[in-house]
Copies of this chain bind each other. A is one copy, B any other.
Amino acid sequence: MADTMFFEDFAVGQKTESSTITVTEAEIIEFAKKYDPQPMHTDPAAAQTITGGLIASGWHTASLTMRLLITGGHYNPAPGTLGLGFEHLKWVKPVRPDDSLRLLLEVIAVRASASHPDRGIVTNRFVTVNQHGETVQEMVSSAIVPRRAPQGQQP
């Protein structure tokens, strides 16, 4: 696991890469039956004519991306880090059974908070890729990240 990262530890251009997870047909169907019950996600035979075979719900891909963020070993934000939401979420290519996914993070903006000297805002580009290195999902997210040593305070 990476070292705990405070605001001071982020810089524009930093890149990290998670470990991989493989998604099974059973998991794709189980997720979709609960959250996105459409035939291309739940019925391998019907999916054949719709999308050339079963594809994962985009929300499943997004949820797997979250799992990679938390358990991928490359990103260990300080306690109190708080995601603010997501922008520009695009499903670029379908995820299919037995695909192995990996999350690439790149810091694209770092901004001190004007109102709260004990924290800052870090913006990351999230790119989820498959085993062929093809992008399956991309999005941008900003998070509030605590500083290691608040300005104007000495321990």
Contact A89 B91 (CB under 8 A): no
Q: In the bound complex, do residue B66 and residue A83 qualify as a contact, i.e. CB atoms below 8 Å apart?
A: no
A98 beta carbon closer than 8 Å to chain B: no
A63 at the interface (CB under 8 A from B): yes
User: What is the total number of copies of this protein in its complex?
Assistant: 2
B83-A85 in contact (CB<8A): no
**Shortest beta-carbon distance from A1 to chain B in Å:** 13
Q: What count of chain A residues pass the 8 Å CB interface test? A: 26
| A38 on the B face (CB < 8 A) | yes
A87 at the B interface (CB under 8 A): yes
Q: Is there an interface contact between A36 and B67, defined as CB atoms closer than 8 Å?
A: yes
The yes or no answer to A52 lying at the interface (CB within 8 A) is: no
With most chain B CB atoms within 10 A of its CB, the pick from A31, A64, A71, A86 is A86
Instruction: Check A73 for interface membership: any CB of B closer than 8 A.
Output: no
Residues of B within 8 A of A89 (CB): 85-87, 89
Assess whether A37 is interfacial by the CB under 8 Å rule. yes
Does A70 have its Cβ within 8 Å of any Cβ on chain B?
yes
Q: Which among A8-16, A54-62, A120-128 touches the partner chain?
A: A54-62
Q: Is the CB of B90 within 8 A of A88?
A: no
